[in-house]
A and B are shown apart, each in its own frame.
Chain A
Amino acid sequence: MNGSVRLRVLRRLAEAVLLLLVVGTIVFFLEHLVPGDPARAILGGASAHPSPQALAAVRHEYGFDRPLLAQYGSFLAGLLRLDFGESYTLKQSVLSAIGGQLGSTLALTLTALGIAWVLSVVSTLAGAGRNGWWARIGAGVEVIAAALPQFWLGVVLLLVFAVRLHWLPVIGTGATGLVLPAFTLGIPLAGFLGQVTRDEFDAKLKQPFVLSARARGMSEAGVRARHVLRHAALPGITLSGWGLGALISGAVIAEVVFARQGIGQLLVTAVNSQDLPLVIGITFVVALVYVVANLLTDLAYVAVDPRLRTTIGASKA
């Protein structure tokens, strides 16, 4: 990594801090717009029947009776110290609540991203730029895959491969337990990736450098895999940055169906019970994943496209 790339990373980080502050602010005010009473969430939510005295005591203890701007001020001060506070419902700190769940979600989403890439590359190499029914079927399958609702796909995979065929566990926690949830998230993403990669692949196949490679006597498979794919992969890499973020925020579907630990489930519970510190903490983590993923995307670009190694720093920093 040269100096200009480092500068670019620093700039990205500065942007990230700003982004996270904005995200935190938006979530803070949105949560306060939702009707409902955080004091009730603290006193047990829907199952509880706290008395008005108990509610008043909690409101005072947590400062809910202070003006909203004053609450926002302490909230920002907490953010700057990276102190997300304690979850209202879980009786533990937000960081430890998220820490306990994050590993599982990252394993799931990274595996799903890997699966999406393998599927889309195989499909592209096999079908793109060729004529006839094989290419058309490939393109059709990609469209269908991209349109599959994850919750439906998850239940179908579960019923077929776990309940009927017993090939994989319904609720396994190890590596085998990762397969079905990862495919549930990976297949629709593979459809998206496949579509953009295929389009780009078709376009790049018509470029002069392909002709010259063929003229050098390179095999068709070699041309496709070594030259064209390198170019065709770029839009897919861009999409992956977004994809990873989308996988994290969509992980809840696979987590519920396959009963996996994860921040997706945690977020849904937190939103439902108006657990403001937890909602903000998780939103932060998801935003952070987007930021890191975009940073990695930039670096991957440089790795895949040698032209950028000399120009990126000079032109953008």
Chain B
Amino acid sequence: MKRAISAVVVGLTVVLTAGCAGNAGVATSSSGPVRGGMITYAADREPTCLDPHNSGDMPQTYVARQYLDSLVSETAGGRVVPWLATGWTISPDGLTYDFTLKQGVKFTDGVPFDAAAVVANFHQILDPATQSSTDLLYLDSYFDQAIALSNHAVRIRLKRPYSPLLTALSQAFFGMESPRAMARGLAANCESPVGTGPFKVVQWNHERDVQLVRNDGYDSAPANARHAGPAYLDGITWKFLKDNTSRYGALGSGEADLIFNVPPEDEELARADQSITLQSFVHSGSPFSLDLNTRSPIFSDIRVRRAFVHAADAKEAVQSAYAGVFPYEGNILSSGTPDYDRHWHETLPYDPVAANRLLDQAGWTHRDAEGYRTKAGRELSVRLPYNADSAETPPADLTILQDVQAMEKRVGIRVVLDARDEASMNAVKGDPRAYDLLGNYWNSPTPEVMYIRFSKATLDVGNGENTPFTWDKGLDDTLLRASATTDPATQKRLYQAAQGILAAKAWSMPMYPIQTRLAVSKRLKDVWIEVSEGEPVLSDAYLSAGG
């Protein structure tokens, strides 16, 4: 899932400093994991609902990973391994998935986890009243029904083959919740969702923190966890520290043990700090990009789109704005995505000569007094609305936009940067007359994200998520064929062909991949980042005695 525009830094920074040396209850054995201790995690954004079935924003998955288990888990290599489902079989036609469920698992409210619970979860996720934006593009058009075959066997029937299903289900957005808790209704469930996970929600103090304590009965860790059984930590204070200075400051003073998203300007300082370690994870999916609206009179011409990308020098803009903290990514997929093809990394490199030639060919041959190109008396001017909130468009992102604006001016394209508040940004989404360029990204564990972003199906949903407002028969067919096969080699060939098609279309100018960036105190061991959505995993973490 994703959050439009806000792109930039969905980094995750976990930092634990020596300042917590006084933590009560930490055992003093000198080697191996020790049980006990509370930690404070500082996040940069607060979710609007703790139940990740509702909405579908990144901060929800980060915290939900601590109290919800999913059916399956994804490994660093992109493999799917058992979690609450101990095994599964897929029918040859790719339409039927039979899951065997782990036995003896209970939700933290005492309700047993069984096939009926799984069915209830899919029911809630797909219910329009739940307002899940994740299901809409991942499940809705494929999902037929979930059936309880026995107490611990569930069948999922699909309307059409969908090979990314398991990978999609590994996200915390599809975590399993207690049917009894869900029955309380969305409002109550937003405040205190109940899962089978390693921690449980005690209380959500809005605008401040979420209090989590260990689930002592936990015995359903995923196959790729570092240990089975209950978490080592007694609990987590999941704090919301929106201000960069105070978040990094809380780490320095020892009041936070881990912080999410080290501000890029503090990156160097953090690297030099011996008391913390930095962890970063490049999200798979679609990188932060400027999408070109093909319904705009200007960008309907592919020559102008290509000229725009040739002239922008996106690589230099990213490198100068993010000082090497974020790498440049020129492919429609981020490098960590399965079947990523390096060949399409930079298909339209910085080339002002080519840009000028293309614009001449497209008929934008005259210049006005300011040096901008004109055609039939009309100026070559494009609108780029962006969110004025600095949490959504951080200073470095604005620098990138301004750099692009300056570079485009050199070839005679005026870029109008249009700062807007969130409400009027929402109005822009989905309105092809409201923009020529729009920032977008989509974090996803599967290359199928190309279908989510650029298919006819998404365009037909009409929610503005197909930002370029276009589709291509060849691309759709390629991606649907990839969905329909379970053969990895065929998938790879098709997904790589799709990347090539998208590179040629110039519907989107990719810039940099979204990252999860954690700074972890040296005293806090075994924090890791899972790969489906870059969620921080704290169930294996422990406070070392020596620190």
Contacts and interface: CB of A to CB of B under 8 A. Distances in A.
Contacts of A57: 128
Nearest to A92: B187
Nearest to A89: B48
Contacts of B239: 171, 259
Contact of B427 (A36, A171, A260): A36
Interface residues of B, number: 56
B2 interface: yes
A265 interface: yes
Nearest to B54: A44
Contact of A36 (B1, B42, B56, B426): B426
A258 B255 CA distance: 12
Contact of B423 (A51, A173, A256, A274): A274
Given A47-B57, A91-B49, A259 B423 contact: no
B425 interface: yes
Given A50-B133, A259-B240, A272 B423 contact: yes
B422 A173 contact: no
Interface string B236-266: 0001111101100110110110000000000
B253 A169 contact: yes
Contacts of B1: 47
A217 interface: no
A49 B55 contact: no
A46 B207 contact: no
A100 interface: yes
Interface residues of A, number: 52
Interface in B193-225: 205-208
A260 B206 CA distance: 10
Interface stretch (B74-82, B96-104, B456-464, B526-534): B456-464
A162 interface: yes
Interface in A134-173: 155, 158-159, 162-163, 166, 169-173
B245 A272 contact: no
B137 interface: yes
A34 B421 CA distance: 10
A54 B135 CA distance: 13
**Which of A40, A44, A49 has the largest number of chain B CB atoms within 10 A?**
A49
Contact of B133 (A41, A49, A163): A49
Interface stretch (B3-11, B471-479, B494-502): B3-11
A37 interface: yes
B191 interface: yes
Interface string A256-278: 11111110011000011110000
B241 to A, nearest CB: 5
Contact of A51 (B57, B245, B463): B463
**Which of A40, A42, A91 has the largest number of chain B CB atoms within 10 A?**
A91
A35 interface: yes
13 contacts: A34-B424, A36-B426, A45-B422, A47-B133, A49-B133, A49-B465, A50-B131, A51-B136, A51-B462, A90-B206, A163-B253, A257-B245, A262-B207
Given A50-B136, A51-B461, A159-B245, 14 more contacts: A43-B133, A47-B55, A47-B58, A51-B462, A52-B463, A100-B205, A101-B207, A256-B243, A257-B245, A259-B208, A266-B206, A271-B421, A274-B423, A274-B426
Report, nearest first, the 9 A-B pairs whose CB atoms are least far apart: A36-B423, A47-B57, A44-B55, A49-B463, A274-B423, A272-B422, A47-B3, A163-B249, A48-B133
